[in-house]
Amino acid sequence: MATQSTKQLVDISDIVDNIVILKNGSLRMVIEVSSINFELRSEGEQVAILQNFQRFLNSMDFPLQIAVNSRKLDIADYVKLIEKSTETLTSELLKIQSAEYSKFIKELSDLSNIMSKKFYIVVPFYVFEAPSKAGITQSLKSIFKPSTVAKQLTPEQLETYKNQLLQRVELMYDGLVGLGLKTKLLEGGDLMNLYYGLYNPGIKVEFKNQGI
């Protein structure tokens, strides 16, 4: 059996203009979404949230993916910050308290296995979708027949499909704001950080967005 390289196992071909281009030619934009504490809401508020979420899903005429990225919270940088701040203290009492706090945070993290969660909505576009036939049936067909998609896109095609994707993203924004959620469209550097972290857990690499 031939050995596959890591690159062959990754479906991403490129990231251009905040768009993830997959090897089958289909496109993705990723929206990071805030969370709400559902359990702390009243019964009436919970019912309203569920009804609004149902309306949000029913308003979509294209497939979408809701993803949750769950990782053990890395507090190493926070602990280093505490230790650095401790060094500047002149009061021995404050130094002792700061050291005890740092020790408490480390033990709490080890015992509780604190997790950080981030939520994303992945908005797809399959390049052989006709703009006038972008219904759910046509979109689902494109999922099951990715080989019919052109793998190489011209700059003109990419710009056209980008506009189609942005229309979908705007529709998503409207629905998510109605749910009381904050949204952020991931840019090039954000996308590279996200996908690099998914494929390389535990390794820290920081990609910057263009112009930052």
Domain ranges of the chain: 6-71+117-199, 74-113
- Across residues 155-163, what is the average pLDDT? 87
DSSP SS3 for 127:
coil
Does residue 62 or residue 115 have the better pLDDT?
A: 62
Residue-level pLDDT at 132: 44
Q: Is the pTM of this model over 0.85?
A: no
What pLDDT score does 150 carry? 41
Residue 136 has pLDDT above 50, yes or no: no
Q: Residue 5 and residue 27: Cα distance in Å, rounded?
A: 23
Number of H helices, E strands in the chain: 7, 6
pLDDT digits (tens, 9 = 90+) for 73-107: 777 888 888 888 888 888 889 888 988 888 888 88
Q: At what angle do helices 76-87 and 92-112 cross, to 10 degrees?
A: 170
